[in-house]
Chains A and B, each alone.
Chain A
Amino acid sequence: MRTDDLIRALAADKVQPASVGSRLALLPLALLVAGGLLLGIIGIRPDLGAALMAPVTALKNLLPLALGLVALILAVRLARPGVSVPVAGLVVFPLVAAALFAYGLTQMQMADWGRGLMGRTAAFCVPAIVLTALLPLVAAMRAMRAGASTDPQRSGALTGLACGALATAIYALHCNEDNPLFFVTWYGLAILIVAGIGAILGRRLLRW
């Protein structure tokens, strides 16, 4: 096909492609379905209101929520070619998490650290969060495909990070393990697993 002919065909095409933003409308729905299913099965902790009065427990809920929203905004921005995205700013979150973890250590005898870290529900918590994140991840990834990231792997990782963190924020409504040693470790692991899945998917799905 000659280039002039291609240009003529391109100029004749008036269909505006769907934007990332408009396709992201499905993400809240996916979160609602997946989160509703999770909480419908395992329930919200009965003492949620009272528990959130404790700052550490409030952070357990708010930190993943904030991370999810920030990562999502960064992922959407990264879907535009030529826009610089301050991804390095995300380092705030592991720093706050590390501070929480350190605080948790000071609150326990050294002999109890291992018990605090393992908690009672680690083996359930991680797969529950990862599974909850999958449907939102599909919705978000589909939206990102409408974009044009010049770094598909990073975009996928950010999308996974967002979905993992948002799924964690939902799971935290159920979880009554308020020891930072526990939730920093296992929430962090679950979120990183979903981010990893997102990176792998992004490499394949977000090329254009």
Chain B
Amino acid sequence: MTGTQDDWSVLMRAANGGDARAYSRLLHLVTPVLRGIVRARGRAFSAEAQEDIVQDVLLAIHLKRHTWREDSPVKPWLYAIARYKVIDAFRARGQQVQVPIEDFADVLPAEPQADPTERSDALKILGQLDSRSAELLKAVGLDGADAGETGRRLGMSEGAVRVALHRALKRLAELRERQVS
């Protein structure tokens, strides 16, 4: 696994500098590792609940990405967030766990199982958001539209879309937090 940490740190630095592709790549690299951890620790959960926890961690990484110092390695920071959110998610779902996540390398990365959270579930969760936020997340996440395109579709400026998207993600995280705790 040598080199991985540098790669992740480099990607994260680029991401914080505004490089969305580097950021997307980083999240795609981290996700199977997170999934492996959650699956190894949370066997009692359905595949759907496991994937929910993975998403909780990803949202937390995203909304707290400014708490990483660029001059420090990214992995201890990522571990700490993953450990906190995984323990939190397990506790909220009524299971006490020991989560010694010393090294992600100990865990086999896992691929998603045959899509546990299909589009219908996506729509169900989005349905709990206000309609503007839900529409934004649908456009950007499910349809892959960019901010300008989404803005034209929803009659908003590009800047307004950016702010509203950020708010929508924060609200999504809060909603999920409330739902499980």
Chain A residues with a Cβ under 8 A of chain B: 1-3, 5-20, 79-83, 146-148, 150, 207-208
Contact of B69 among A9, A80, A207 (CB under 8 A): A80
Contact of B64 among A9, A13, A208 (CB under 8 A): A208
Chain B interface, number of residues (Cβ within 8 angstroms): 56
> Contact: B77 with A82, CB < 8 Å?
yes
CB distance from B51 to the nearest CB of A (A): 6
- Alpha-carbon distance between A83 and B79 when the two chains are bound, in angstroms: 11
> Contact: B77 with A3, CB < 8 Å?
no
> Contact: B31 with A7, CB < 8 Å?
yes
CB distance from A15 to the nearest CB of B (A): 4
- Alpha-carbon distance between A14 and B166 when the two chains are bound, in angstroms: 8
15 inter-chain pairs at a CB distance below 8 angstroms, sorted by A residue, are: A1-B55, A2-B119, A2-B142, A3-B51, A3-B117, A6-B58, A8-B144, A13-B165, A14-B162, A15-B162, A15-B163, A80-B67, A82-B79, A83-B69, A148-B67
- The DSSP consensus for interface residues of chain A is loop
> Contact: B80 with A82, CB < 8 Å?
yes
> Contact: A9 with B140, CB < 8 Å?
yes
Contact of B60 among A15, A83, A147, A208 (CB under 8 A): A208
Tell whether A9 pairs with B67 under 8 Å between CB atoms, given A2-B115, A2-B118.
no
Query: Which residues of the partner chain B approach A82 to less than 8 Å between Cβ atoms?
Result: 76-81
